[in-house]
């Protein structure tokens, strides 16, 4: 699943390629991709232009002239930019016909991705109960302590909760805990202040590095817009057989239904 760095990469790349381009038509080939009435969705976007590109957690935000287009890629969603003469692939579910004879095509093998139209002034601070962004000052050691108060859940599961902090997924949660020397199954109730400070600091360091590297191509994610993620070359534990630091065999544990990679030597706490 694309996580924050991958979504940020898509947003930045689309901004370079289609900023100020006008939509002449919207072709919906899989209706369930759209939240709400299909014709309302189409008419809200026709003759609108892409003006501003932002991200909230794992959501892509396209600010048009008068409306906000929100998209979540979920498991397999990807955007392609093609000319309108190129053949349309099987799993292309939404096509935005642009004025310059190009098409922005949404492709989704698993069909889990969703799009919706919202008012321009939508309050995104608490959108879908999302927590603060990882680079927001509100995300700090004291905030993490309060969030975990009265809970005993594994810290790996807690980091994946989008209500804690927006945008962290399985890959980066493993890397954050690896850099912090904390095992994924450790109860969040047993974290020390130093643990919490390390988690917050390493969240920012690792996500910033991943954004700079264009995300990761681990599993099925590759940028369909000509940007190949390189962060997989820097992963210490996720998807690895041996620890990049000490050479010990990486262990994999299932926590909350997700695979969790960790080094039993480097992650002792």
Catalytic residue among 55, 58, 156, 183: 58
Catalytic residue check, 56: no
The string of DSSP letters for 73-97 reads -TTT-EEEEEETTSPPPTTEEEEEE
Catalytic residue check, 175: no
- How many whole angstroms separate alpha carbon 142 and alpha carbon 126? 20
- How many whole angstroms separate alpha carbon 42 and alpha carbon 87? 22
Please name the residue ranges forming H helices in the chain. 4-18, 38-45, 141-148, 155-159, 170-180, 193-212
From the DSSP assignment, how many helices (H) and strands (E) are in the chain? Answer: 6, 10
Residues 47, 50, 54, 57, Cα dihedral to 10°: 50
List of residues 6+ apart from 132 with CB closer than 8 A: 138, 139, 143, 165, 166
Structure tokens at 168: 């962290």
79, β-bridge pairs: 106
Q: How many CB atoms lie within 10 A of CB 65?
A: 12
Three-state DSSP at 189 gives helix
Catalytic residue among 3, 6, 8, 76: 3
Catalytic residue check, 3: yes
- How many whole angstroms separate alpha carbon 269 and alpha carbon 131? 26
Catalytic residue among 42, 51, 82, 258: 258
Catalytic residue check, 22: no
Q: Where in the sequence numbering do the catalytic residues fall? A: 2-3, 58, 258
């Amino acid at each position: 699943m694309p996580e924050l760095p991958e979504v940020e990469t898509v947003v930045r790349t689309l901004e370079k390629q289609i900023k100020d381009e006008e939509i002449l038509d919207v072709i919906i080939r899989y209706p369930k991709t759209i939240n709400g009435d299909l014709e309302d969705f189409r008419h809200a976007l026709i003759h609108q232009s892409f003006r501003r590109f932002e991200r909230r957690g794992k959501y892509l935000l396209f600010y048009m002239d008068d409306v906000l287009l929100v998209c979540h890629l979920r498991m397999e969603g990807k955007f392609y930019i093609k000319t309108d003469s190129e053949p349309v692939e099987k799993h292309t579910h939404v096509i935005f016909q642009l004025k310059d004879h190009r098409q922005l095509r949404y492709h989704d093998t698993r069909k889990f991705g969703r799009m919706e139209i919202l008012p321009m002034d939508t309050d995104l601070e608490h959108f879908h109960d999302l927590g603060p962004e990882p680079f927001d000052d509100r995300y700090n050691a004291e905030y993490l302590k309060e969030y975990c108060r009265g809970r005993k859940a594994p810290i790996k599961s807690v980091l994946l909760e989008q209500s804690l902090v927006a945008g962290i997924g399985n890959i980066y949660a493993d890397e954050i805990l690896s850099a912090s020397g904390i095992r994924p199954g450790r109860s969040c109730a047993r974290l020390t202040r130093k643990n919490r400070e390390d988690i917050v600091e390493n969240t920012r360091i690792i996500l910033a590095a991943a954004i700079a590297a264009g995300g990761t191509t681990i599993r099925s994610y590759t940028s369909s817009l000509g940007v190949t993620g390189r962060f997989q070359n820097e992963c210490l534990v996720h998807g690895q057989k041996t620890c990049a630091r000490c050479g010990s065999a990486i262990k994999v544990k299932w926590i909350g239904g997700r695979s969790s990679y960790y080094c039993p030597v480097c992650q002792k706490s």
